[in-house]
Amino acid sequence: MFESDVIDFFSRVPWWVVPMIYVPMILVSMGYAVIVDGLSPFALPALWFAGWVVWSLMEYWLHRTLFHWIPAASWGEQFHFYLHGVHHKWFKDRFRLVMPPAASLAIGVVVVGALKFTGWLLLPVVDDAWVLGLFAGIVFGYLVYDMVHYYIHHAKPTSKLMLALRSHHNKHHHNKKYKDKKFGVSMTIWDHVFGTYE
């Protein structure tokens, strides 16, 4: 796809790279939150779940807005193609379904930075020990998203849930009627909430 073999190499990611990177990150974040930051172990599950919910909303809005945005500029079409058009064009390519770690880690740095900044702003009111607990849930949500996305494209789902998610996502990919609908991948709840389920 790319003229540079180096760039092309780093744009192709096997599915197992995602859990290899992010499972340790989730565990370290949870451990650090409890052991170093002093987060109550009883608060961790609620924060982790809240983080997963936050990710599900990020997944929906990133897909609906950024991934389908074509800037009105000379570089707009190319920007969109590299960001998300590649996936729509080569949806059967097993190495172009999960986000390259350089991109997902950059997003992770922005997210943890925003959480840390919010924690700092709230310090007079509440301790910032919640930050990494919430971040662990967000990263878990991302991991679920990437694994579900890969699974519904390349496996043969048998469960009703996975068959429904696959049908939902395939309509977004292959039916022009749903080009601007069905943005959820790992769950469809936000499509229902924001009227893009149909």
Q: What is the pLDDT of residue 144?
A: 96
Residues 102, 9 contacting (CB under 8 angstroms): no
Q: What is the pLDDT of residue 78?
A: 77
In angstroms, the Cα distances linking 136 to 14, 19, 47, 50, 191 are: 23, 13, 8, 10, 24
Which residues of the chain, if any, have pLDDT below 70? 1-2, 10, 80, 82-91, 97
Per-residue pLDDT of 24-74, as tens digits, reads 999 999 999 999 999 999 999 999 999 999 999 999 999 899 887 888 888
In angstroms, the Cα distances linking 48 to 34, 54, 63, 143, 177 are: 12, 10, 22, 13, 36
* pTM for this prediction: 0.90
Q: Helix or strand or coil: residue 64?
A: helix
Domain boundaries, the chain: 5-87+94-148
Q: Which residues contact 5 (CB under 8 A, 6 or more apart)?
A: none
Distance CA 146, CA 97 (A): 8
Q: What is the pLDDT of residue 75?
A: 85
